[in-house]
Structure 1
Amino acid sequence: MSLFFAKLAVSILVVLGLSMLAERAGPRVAGVLSGYPLGTAILLFFIAIEQGVHFAGESAVYALPGLIATLAFLYAYYLISKWLLRHAVLVQVAGASLGAFATFVFVSWLGQMVRFTLLSASLSLVAAMIVAIVLFRAIENVSISQRVKITHKIVAMRAATAAMIVVAISGAAAIIGPRWSGLFSGFPVTLYPMMLILHWSYGVAPVHTVIRNFPRGMGALLIYIVSVSFTYPRFGIGEGTLLAFAAATIYLVCYSSVVWWRSRETAQAGQ
C-alpha cells in the first residue's frame, strides 16, 4: 500500500510541475524538458522494485522502441487535432487522444515482434528522433499569453490523470512481461496529461509547440534508459537511478547551452 501511494505522489508532483512550467516558462521549454526522463524513470523505477532489477533491465531495452511509439503517438495527435481544428475542444481532445492511443499500441505491437539489442534499439530511436524533428519543424512555436486560474478542480484532474496511468502500467508489468512493460514505459506518462491540460485550457497551438520541441530533448531519455540498463544490475535501483539521472542531466544542460548559444549568435547577427 505504501508503494501504491508512492507512485501516486511521485507522478502527481511531476505532472503538476511540468504543466505549471509550461504555463510560466512557455510550451517550448516544457516540450524540451518533457524529454527529461521523468515518466519513464518513474515507471522503470517501480517496475524494478516490484519485479526485480533484471526484469527492469530487459524492460529498459524495449523502452527505447517504446519511445518510437511515443513519437508516433505525438505525430498522430498533431495530425488529428489539426484536422479537427474547426470542431469543439472536447471533440479535438477525444479524437486526437483515441487516434494517438491506437497509433501507440500499433507501433508498440510492431516493436515487440522485433528482438532488439541495446545497440539496435538505440540506433532505431536516434533515427526516429531525426525523422520526428524533420516532420515537426513546420510547427510554429507559440507562447501562452494569458494563464487560466488554477483551481482545486484543475489540480485534481491533473493529478488523477497522471496517477492512473502510472499505477496501471507499473501494476500490469508482471502480467504483460518485460517486453510490453518496456514498450509501455515509453508511454508519455507525464507529457500526455500536460498536453490534455494545455489543450483544454489554451487550445491546440501550445500543444503543437510542445510536440514540436519534444524530440529535441529526447536525447536525455535515450541516455537515461541506456544508463539504467548498465547501472541497475551493477549498483542497484537507488544508486543506479541517481547515476542515470546524472548522465541525462549532463546531456540536457549541454543541449540547452548549445541552444542558448545559437540563439544568442542569431540575435547578434540580426542586429
Structure 2
Amino acid sequence: MPPELHFLLFLILRMAVAAAFVVTASIITERSGPVIGALVATLPISAGPSYVFLALDHDAAFIAQGALASLPVNAATIFLGLTYVVLAQRHNLIVSCGAAVAVWIALASIIRQFDWSLTAGLAVNLVAFGICIPLLARYRHVKMPLVTRRWYDIPFRAALVATLVAIVVSTSGWVGPRISGIIALYPIVFTSMMVILHPRIGGPPTAAVLANSAWGLLGFGMAIAMMHVAVVQFGSAVGLMLALATCVTWNLTLWWSGRRKAAH
C-alpha cells in the first residue's frame, strides 16, 4: 500500500473514532440536564482523542511539551466561557459566540509567544479561575426549556471534533508540540453547544450550561498538569490514563458534592 494511502486511511480511522466518542458523550449530555451535561462537556471529549493520536505518532517528550502549551490555553477557555455567558444574556449568537471565539484566539496567540513552565501554567489557571468562577456563579441557575434534538446536531458535533483531530494529527509533524498543544485545546464542545443551543433555547439557558462548566474545566486543567508530569515520569500511555482518571475523578466528586447539597 502506498504510504500516502496508508496515512489517509489511518487518518480517516482516527477521525471516525473521535467522532464516535463525541456522539456518545453528546447523547449522555442531552439526557442528563445542564449540571451533569456541563460535567460531561468538561471531560476530554475533543482533546483526549487528539492527544491519544499524537502519542501514537510522537514520543513522550513531544506530548509533555504539548501539555505545557495546553495548560495556559485552558485558562483562555474559561475566559471564552465568561465572555459568551455575559454577552448571551442580551445578544444574539453571532455577537456572543463571535466575541467569545475572538477572545480565545487572541489569548491563544499571546500564549504561543512564550515557553511555558508547569508552575507558570498552573499560576495562570489559578488566576483565571479565581476571577471567572465567582463572576459566572450568578448565571448558573436558569430554568432549562425542553431541548428537542434535530437530525444534524450530533453529526455537526462529530464533524467538528473529527476535523480538529485531522488538523492536529496531520500538522503536528511540522508545527511542533507547542502549536499542537494549543490546537488540541480548542474548545470544540463549548463552541458546538453555543451554535446548537443558543438559537433553540436562547442565550441565558445556554449560558447556564457553560457557567456550570467552570468547576469541571478547572479539573480539566489539573488533568493536563497531571499528564505533563506523568508522561515525563512514566511515558505517554500511563500519562494519558492518569490524566483521564484525574478528570473523571474530579467530575465525579463535583457530582457527588452537588447531590449532597441538594439532599440537604
Residue 213 to residue 170, structure 1, CA distance change in 2 (3 Å): farther
Structure 1 residue 32 corresponds to structure 2 residue 39: yes
C-alpha deviations, 1:162-220, integer Å up to 9, x for none? 22233223433333332222223222123322332222432223320121111111233
Match of 2:207 in 1: 208
SS state at 1:69 partner? helix
- Aligned alpha-carbon RMSD (Å): 2.3
Residue 211 to residue 236, structure 1, CA distance change in 2 (3 Å): same
SS state at 2:147 partner? coil
Match of 1:131 in 2: 131
The answer (yes or no) to whether the contact 1:19–1:194 under 8 Å persists in 2 is no
Residue 260 to residue 55, structure 1, CA distance change in 2 (3 Å): same
C-alpha deviations, 1:89-127, integer Å up to 9, x for none? xxx333333222221111112222333211221122122
The answer (yes or no) to whether the contact 1:31–1:211 under 8 Å persists in 2 is yes
Normalised to the residue count of structure 2, the TM-score between the two structures is 0.85
The answer (yes or no) to whether the contact 1:28–1:142 under 8 Å persists in 2 is no
What is the alpha-carbon distance in structure 2 between the residues aligned to residue 171 and residue 96 of structure 1? 31
C-alpha deviations, 1:240-271, integer Å up to 9, x for none? 32232223222222232222222322xxxxxx
Aligned residues: 257
Shift of 1:140: 4.2
Match of 2:3 in 1: none
What is the alpha-carbon distance in structure 2 between the residues aligned to residue 211 and residue 65 of structure 1? 19
- 1:132 maps to a residue whose letter is C
Q: Any residues of structure 2 matched to 1:18-97 within 5 Å, and which?
A: 18-84=25-91, 92-97=92-97
SS state at 1:190 partner? helix
The answer (yes or no) to whether the contact 1:223–1:248 under 8 Å persists in 2 is yes
Moved more, 11-20 or 115-124: 11-20
Match of 1:231 in 2: 230
Residue 11 to residue 144, structure 1, CA distance change in 2 (3 Å): farther
- Large movers: runs of 4+ above 4 Å: none
What is the alpha-carbon distance in structure 2 between the residues aligned to residue 245 and residue 188 of structure 1? 17
- 1:116 maps to a residue whose letter is W
The answer (yes or no) to whether the contact 1:67–1:183 under 8 Å persists in 2 is no
What is the alpha-carbon distance in structure 2 between the residues aligned to residue 14 and residue 33 of structure 1? 12
Structure 1 residue 154 corresponds to structure 2 residue 153: yes
Q: Which runs of 5+ in 2 are unaligned?
A: 1-7
What is the alpha-carbon distance in structure 2 between the residues aligned to residue 83 and residue 244 of structure 1? 37
The answer (yes or no) to whether the contact 1:48–1:237 under 8 Å persists in 2 is yes
SS state at 1:250 partner? helix
Residue 96 to residue 165, structure 1, CA distance change in 2 (3 Å): farther
The answer (yes or no) to whether the contact 1:32–1:215 under 8 Å persists in 2 is no
- 2:127 maps to a residue whose letter is A
The answer (yes or no) to whether the contact 2:83–2:100 under 8 Å persists in 1 is yes
Structure 1 residue 241 corresponds to structure 2 residue 222: no
What is the alpha-carbon distance in structure 1 between the residues aligned to residue 199 and residue 160 of structure 2? 14
What is the alpha-carbon distance in structure 1 between the residues aligned to residue 189 and residue 15 of structure 2? 12
Q: Which runs of 5+ in 1 are unaligned?
A: 85-91, 266-271
What is the alpha-carbon distance in structure 1 between the residues aligned to residue 108 and residue 237 of structure 2? 28
Match of 2:20 in 1: 13
Residue 93 to residue 50, structure 1, CA distance change in 2 (3 Å): farther
- 2:101 maps to a residue whose letter is F
- 2:246 maps to a residue whose letter is A
